[in-house]
Structure 1
Amino acid sequence: MTNPLDLPFDADEMLAGLKPWIETESPTFDAAAVNRMMDVVQHELAALGARVERIPGRMGFGDSVRATMPHPKAGQGGILLLGHMDTVHPVGTLKQLPFKREGGICYGPGLMDMKGGNYVYLDALRKLLAAGIETPLPVTVLFTPDEEVGTPSTRELIEAEAKRHQFILVPEPARPDGGAVIGRYAIARFNLQTRGKPSHAGWALAEGRSAIAEMAKHVAVIEGMTTEGCTFSLGVFNAGQWVNCVSSVCDAEVLSMAKTQEQLDEGVGRMLALNSDAGDVIMEVTRGVTRPVWEPDQPGTMAMLTLAQEIGREIGFELTGSSAGGGSDGNFTGFLGLPTLDSIGVRGKGLHTLKEHIEVDSLVERAKLAAALYCRLGA
């Protein structure tokens, strides 16, 4: 059998293939845009001979794509490639952050998080099929539309699919040192609303009770609850329509990260304790979607890491493994105790910013890692 590390991976070829992916902008809250991205990837998977299913979106989000790759045991549990195709960048971001290469760096919205990793792991399957290399286990691909907002519409789909497989690969971007993730902290989201009393801001200011002012007081209180083990960040703040009106409603969203379940429970309790109807302005806090703690050092995951580290050394790099924040759909599969290797995608910086980019050299490096993992897991 051909050594998967010797397959003809080419960075320029991969960048050419990635260009239409990146230029098909797919922000989470624009279901039609996400579906255009799903059209692109559905076509590519079908062209590889995969049995492709389009799973309709729900809750206002886009569709998912599930593909069963060609294999004598196709449909049986094997390896699940799990990734998301939504990004945080709104349509039009390409004007400020166009897809472009500058030396060893390539820029583009969603290129690092996580279209680059998805493409690399799909290209590895493409090269294996072209070379006639049969993997020990069948491979299933699942691309979803809503990871950037906590996976509210596809968590059940992901968990049900993952339970059918022996190994889960999540090509989220690599950690800053290029390492993989073998555990993740919990992520909890909260929706906040203050409700006051409207009045004319110039004519009868004293009669009003500002929902904005009350929410603003809570920003410092909430972010001041941050500790090393549990962080709080108020990232969305919406209120007001007329400057000459005292605003009666203000909405906000808070993200909390906790390293342990105990710290998560404590943090949730502190947020919910902010509920109040005692004053002139009501504060209502409700809990949103939560990513559970994925405890590290699970035997199946550690065995996957050991294998990936061996492959990395053959390629010429050292792959570390540790727990991390940030949250991904790996939280769900890891929480279930399923062997999961996360953040094994491309290397880069600036995700979620207008400087998002990848290191071009990491494309071939990670494609070789992917091809070898497909060939050695379950062997």
Structure 2
Amino acid sequence: MNATSLPFDADAMLAGLKPWVECESPTFDAAAVDRMMDLAAYDLASAGAEIERIPGRMGYGGSVRARFPHKDFGKPGILISGHLDTVHPVGTLAKNPWRIEDGKCYGPGIQDMKGGNYISVEALRQLALAGIETPLPVTVLFTPDEEVGTPSTRELIEMEARKNKYVLVPEPAHRDGSAVTGRFAIARFNVKTTGRPSHAGWALKDGRSAIAAMARKIQEIEAMTTDDCTFSVGVVHAGQWVNCVSSTCEAEVLSMAKKQQDLDRGIERMLALNGEENEVTIEVTRGVTRPVWEPDEGTLQVYELAKGICAEIGFDLSHCSAGGGSDGNFTGALGIPTLDSIGVRGKGLHTLNEHIEVDSLVERARLMVGLLTRLK
């Protein structure tokens, strides 16, 4: 079947995507994420899937697993893996509302990655309406916590991937529109400084500021960045009263490396920061880690298939290894052929300018159909 033959309509797809984007679903708001899972479950069910709701844990929302009818139901097939949580807190719609301007559609989470997830569901719906059965059975798994490193669903994703032959990840297309066939390793760290409180006006010299110590430590951590291993501090929490010398300060650090050995060395350097300086204690603990995913023969074969499909559709698809983790790190590191970042094109992910290019909805839905109908 030709991937361009199904009647995809951008306006209809926008109408279906709008409720998803307007259902804000920040990772740390489990109830909000569950509301988003409700919308996805309904659309997957209406596309013909059998739906399973998987309860959340560790304070996060739940997941949705959808299996489509197939003569080989239950046998290894294709897993479409995506997340429905976003980095945007509830209320972001007021700052970046749903709107369509100059061929772009805006909204929190539309690029990362509700747009890509939605075109995957639409591809499956159009296949069902056309009565076309894919060579392999298809499972869709939507999870709630990718934006914080997938602490509660990594095992779920890995186990589901092991039951399948291929994994497709409709994360947003890379900056130049390319697919991703490998990803760098990522580690997260929690850093805590503990000082000694005092009154900032009466007895400033008696205190040992945890904030001041953390400020120095942040500069030291970010100065560890090299081309091969980066360090960035993205979250800092401290202080309650301006007239008190702070006794504690907490920060979160993200490290990314192109190779596992580079990340391992970075982890050693971070953990070596544990200790005491100027009567302030520094504690560094590891958070979640994403392994290096290096492209292998199976992944590159799936890419070559995708490249040929894209040529038929009318555009060139290149590929690369990329920074910025995804759940493809897990499936690719397991050795399961994985093609990542085949979702919509756009810019501004994780910002108040997040948007997609409207013409990429049909383009990427056709790519998904092509993959689903040709992977064997």
1:278 is displaced (CA, Å) by 5.2
1:277 is displaced (CA, Å) by 2.8
Equivalent residue, structure 1, for 2:177:
178
- The yes-or-no answer on 1:305 pairing with 2:308 is no
Q: Distance in 1 between matches of 2:277 and 2:117?
A: 50
Equivalent residue, structure 2, for 1:217:
216
1:48 is displaced (CA, Å) by 2.2
Equivalent residue, structure 2, for 1:50:
49
Equivalent residue, structure 1, for 2:371:
373
1:50 is displaced (CA, Å) by 1.2
Equivalent residue, structure 2, for 1:251:
250
Q: Which amino acid is 1:324 matched to? A: A
Q: Distance in 2 between matches of 1:48 and 1:5?
A: 19
Alignment of 1:195-344 (within 5 A): 195-277=194-276, 279-296=278-295, 298-344=296-342
* Number of residue pairs matched by the alignment: 376
Q: Distance in 2 between matches of 1:163 and 1:315?
A: 31
Equivalent residue, structure 2, for 1:19:
18
Equivalent residue, structure 2, for 1:349:
347
1:3 is displaced (CA, Å) by 2.8
Q: Distance in 2 between matches of 1:83 and 1:223?
A: 31
Q: Distance in 1 between matches of 2:194 and 2:375?
A: 55
Equivalent residue, structure 1, for 2:110:
111
Q: TM-score w.r.t. structure 1 length?
A: 0.98
Q: Distance in 1 between matches of 2:104 and 2:49?
A: 32
Percent identical: 69
Q: Which amino acid is 1:78 matched to? A: G
Q: Distance in 2 between matches of 1:75 and 1:92?
A: 41
1:4 is displaced (CA, Å) by 3.3
Equivalent residue, structure 2, for 1:92:
91
Q: Is the 8 A contact 2:185 2:257 kept in 1?
A: yes
Q: Distance in 2 between matches of 1:337 and 1:364?
A: 30
Q: Which amino acid is 1:347 matched to? A: R
Q: TM-score w.r.t. structure 2 length?
A: 0.99
Q: Distance in 1 between matches of 2:344 and 2:172?
A: 5
1:72 is displaced (CA, Å) by 1.6
Alignment of 1:25-40 (within 5 A): 25-40=24-39
Q: Is the 8 A contact 1:188 1:291 kept in 2?
A: yes
Q: Distance in 2 between matches of 1:354 and 1:278?
A: 39
Q: Distance in 1 between matches of 2:152 and 2:181?
A: 24
- The yes-or-no answer on 1:362 pairing with 2:363 is no
Q: Distance in 2 between matches of 1:335 and 1:146?
A: 19
Unaligned 5+ runs, structure 2: none
Q: Which amino acid is 1:366 matched to? A: R
Q: Is the 8 A contact 1:97 1:109 kept in 2?
A: yes
Q: Distance in 2 between matches of 1:198 and 1:219?
A: 21
Q: Distance in 1 between matches of 2:113 and 2:2?
A: 27
Q: Distance in 2 between matches of 1:43 and 1:359?
A: 25
1:303 is displaced (CA, Å) by 0.4
Q: Distance in 2 between matches of 1:75 and 1:52?
A: 14
CA deviations 1:318-364 (Å, max 9, x no partner) are 10011000000000000001000000000000000000000011011
The ranges of structure 1 where at least 4 consecutive aligned residues each deviate by more than 6 angstroms after the TM superposition are none
Q: Secondary structure at the match of 1:332?
A: helix
1:233 is displaced (CA, Å) by 0.2
Q: Secondary structure at the match of 2:276?
A: coil
Q: Is the 8 A contact 1:4 1:128 kept in 2?
A: no
Q: Distance in 1 between matches of 2:38 and 2:62?
A: 10
1:23 is displaced (CA, Å) by 0.4
Q: Which amino acid is 1:326 matched to? A: G
CA deviations 1:116-147 (Å, max 9, x no partner) are 00000110000000000110001000000000
Q: Distance in 1 between matches of 2:218 and 2:147?
A: 23
Q: Secondary structure at the match of 1:277?
A: strand
Q: Distance in 1 between matches of 2:299 and 2:291?
A: 17
1:22 is displaced (CA, Å) by 0.3
Q: Which moved more, 1:160-169 or 1:38-47?
A: 38-47
Q: Is the 8 A contact 1:85 1:115 kept in 2?
A: yes
1:36 is displaced (CA, Å) by 0.2
Equivalent residue, structure 1, for 2:70:
71
Alignment of 1:128-147 (within 5 A): 128-147=127-146
Equivalent residue, structure 1, for 2:157:
158
Q: Secondary structure at the match of 1:190?
A: strand
Q: Distance in 2 between matches of 1:377 and 1:58?
A: 34
- RMSD, matched Cα: 0.8
Equivalent residue, structure 2, for 1:81:
80
Q: Distance in 1 between matches of 2:48 and 2:301?
A: 31
Q: Distance in 2 between matches of 1:322 and 1:92?
A: 35
Q: Distance in 2 between matches of 1:187 and 1:278?
A: 28
